[in-house]
Amino acid sequence: MSFDWKRFILILVAGTAAGLLWNAAGGRGFALGRSVLVQAGDEIVEVADAKALLDRGALFLDARPRDFWRMSRIPGALSLPEEDFDRAFAEIEEHLRRASGIVVYCSGFGCEASHVVARRLRERGLIAAILNEGIPAWLDAGLPMDSEPRS
Amino acid sequence: MSGLLRHPRVELALRFLLGAFFVYASLDKIWSPAAFAKIVYQWQVVGPVPSNLVAVTLPWVELLAGLLLIAGVWKRESALVIALLLVVFIAAAGSVMARGIDVETCGCVSVAKVEAASSWPPAWTKGVGWFLLCRNLVLLGAALVLARPRMPDDRRSVG
């Protein structure tokens, strides 16, 4: 039996078409044109806008596990880890209620913690923007991190 | 060794094992495309929109190639499709490991998050690491055996 490249390509094309069709009509699909992490109501800010907010006194929240925040953080950011949200929220609620603006970030690239934290803040009546692509975007823009160890 | 790999029963076993693995691996991803898209994005190989496209199309290619392999239809072509996928998986896993990115759930056969350390199978079989790399190399070897050109003697015995 000889190898037929047309069949090889047909398998790839048919599989791709079936996937796109299933996503469009299968009832379990999602919007392909934007990050899968973004849901209705999420407010996303790019790094330049986030920096402007920081300069205007916005409060930054680090949604990563607290050990990561202890090692380094965007300057001035408080820790509000997704997995310990309720306890950490109670600790900093006063700061949050007084803040002129809130930006949440995490480690970027598929990190969903900032989105989850922003939604949970919204449930408590607090509007928080999400830094698109998180810390990698911050670093790529040449902006500083505070690497002073915290307890 | 070469003769053994050309034996019809060995080829049949390889076809069923490889085909069944890829069919099984596709099902959870087809059922939960958004969860799979998040995992693809976490690999940091492509951006969010290409990750979405990979997540919705890749499992169907796996399913189709796996079913064809099991059915014995277009065997060499479907085996080469699987080999191509495995080469991409191996390259992507190597890139993730080289960059030191921690991916707890590779999304290879399931999109479920890693549970407690005591759960079975252990977490190290689910993340991107040496186990995944070695497993995919073994699967690639099997796919290449099935995709290889037939010798004249094989044509009599293999259907």
| B123-146 residue pLDDT tens | 677 788 899 999 999 999 999 999
CB B66 within 8 A of CB A27: no
Residue A106: what are its φ and ψ, rounded to 5°?
-145, -150
Structure-token pair, residue A89: 């929220």
Q: List the one residue out of B102, B107, B89 whose CA is nearest residue A36.
A: B107
Query: With a cut of 50, which residues of chain A have pLDDT below it?
Result: none
* Confidence check: pLDDT of B158 > 50: no
pLDDT at residue number B157 = 45
Asked if residue B122 has a cis previous peptide bond (ω within 30° of 0), the answer is no
CA distance B19 to B15: 6
The b-or-e profile of A28-63 (16+ CB within 10 A means b, else e) is ebeebeebbbeeeebebbebeebbebbeeebbbbbb
Angle at B52 between CA B49 and CA B54, to 5 degrees: 115
B interface with A, Cβ–Cβ below 8 Å: 30-34, 37-39, 41-44, 48-49, 51-53, 55-65, 68, 74-78, 80-81, 101, 147, 149-150, 155
Helical residues (DSSP H) of chain A, grouped into ranges: 5-25, 47-55, 66-71, 85-98, 113-123, 134-140
Which contiguous run of DSSP H or E holds residue A79?
Answer: strand A78-79
Q: How far apart are CA A72 and CA A148, in angstroms?
A: 7
- The chain A residue lying nearest B44, using CA atoms, is A109
Name the residue of chain A whose CA is nearest to B31's CA: A28
A54 vs B7, more confident: A54
CB A61 within 8 A of CB A43: no
Of A22, A32, A109, the CB nearest to B49: A32
How far, in Å, CA of B47 to CA of B41, rounded? 6
State whether A109 and B37 contact (CB < 8 Å): no
> A62 - beta bridge partners?
A79, A105
Residue B152 has pLDDT above 70, yes or no: no
SS3 A107: coil
Helix (H, G, I), strand (E, B) or coil at B125: helix
The per-residue pLDDT for B125 is: 74
The answer on pLDDT for B5 being more than 80 is no
Counted across chains A and B, CB pairs separated by less than 8 A come out at 101
A15–B33 C-beta distance less than 8 A: no
CB spacing of A12 vs B75 below 8 angstroms: no
A140 in B contact zone (CB under 8 Å)? no
| pLDDT for the residue numbered B117 | 55
More confident residue, B115 or B68: B68
Distance in angstroms (rounded) separating the CA atoms of residues A8 and A13: 9
Contact A36 B55 (CB under 8 A): yes
CA separation, residue B120 to residues B22, B24, B112, B123 (Å): 21, 18, 13, 8
The closest CB to that of B42, out of A3, A7, A110, belongs to A110
Q: What is the pLDDT of residues B43-55, one digit of tens each?
A: 889 988 999 999 9
Given this model, what pLDDT does residue B99 score?
87
pLDDT beyond 60 at B159: no
Specify whether the backbone of A43 is left (phi greater than 0), alpha (psi in -120 to 50) or beta. beta
pLDDT at position B78 = 97
Average pLDDT over chain B, rounded to an integer: 87
Q: Distances in Å between the alpha carbon of A53 and those of A128, B51, B61, B156?
A: 12, 30, 45, 74
Indicate left, alpha or beta for A129 from its phi (over 0: left) and psi (-120 to 50: alpha): beta
